[in-house]
């Protein structure tokens, strides 16, 4: 059984030529944005070192607060 047979109703067949401009090209309308501002780039994610320093800093702060509360 040949699985690569091109038949009717399959996506594997050649694209039929539609009534476009001569030479096979299609005329398309150009859509331009209203403003010419550049698209802002994504901010880079934080580094693992920064996250670890913040985590351990907050952990030490909470341990100190809990130690002060427990000693009263």
pLDDT confidence tier of residue 4, bands split at 50, 70 and 90: low
> Which residue, 26, 29, 31, is CA-closest to 15?
26
Is 53 inside any structural domain?
yes
Rounded to an integer, what distance in angstroms lies between the CA atom of residue 53 and that of residue 72?
29
Is 27 inside any structural domain?
no
Is 28 inside any structural domain?
no
Cβ atoms within 10 Å of 59's Cβ, excluding its own: 10
Is 60 inside any structural domain?
yes
Domain count for the chain, please give it. Answer: 1
Give the range of the structural domain holding residue 62, as residue numbers without chain letter: 46-72
Q: What is the mean pLDDT of residues 3-18?
A: 57
Is 71 inside any structural domain?
yes
Structure tokens at 62: 């909470």
Render 14-34 in DSSP notation, one character per residue: PPPPPS-STTS---------S
For residue 35, the model assigns a pLDDT of 78
Is 3 inside any structural domain?
no
Is 51 inside any structural domain?
yes
pLDDT tens digits for range 13-66: 565 555 555 555 667 788 777 777 887 888 888 789 999 999 999 999 999 999
Structure tokens at 26: 């299609």
């Amino acid at each position: 059984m040949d699985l690569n047979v091109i038949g009717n109703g399959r996506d594997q067949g050649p694209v039929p030529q539609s009534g476009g401009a001569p030479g096979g090209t299609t005329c398309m309308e150009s859509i331009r944005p209203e403003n010419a501002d550049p698209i802002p780039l994504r901010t880079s994610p934080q580094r693992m070192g920064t996250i670890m320093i913040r985590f351990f800093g907050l952990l030490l702060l909470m341990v100190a607060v809990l130690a002060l509360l427990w000693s009263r």
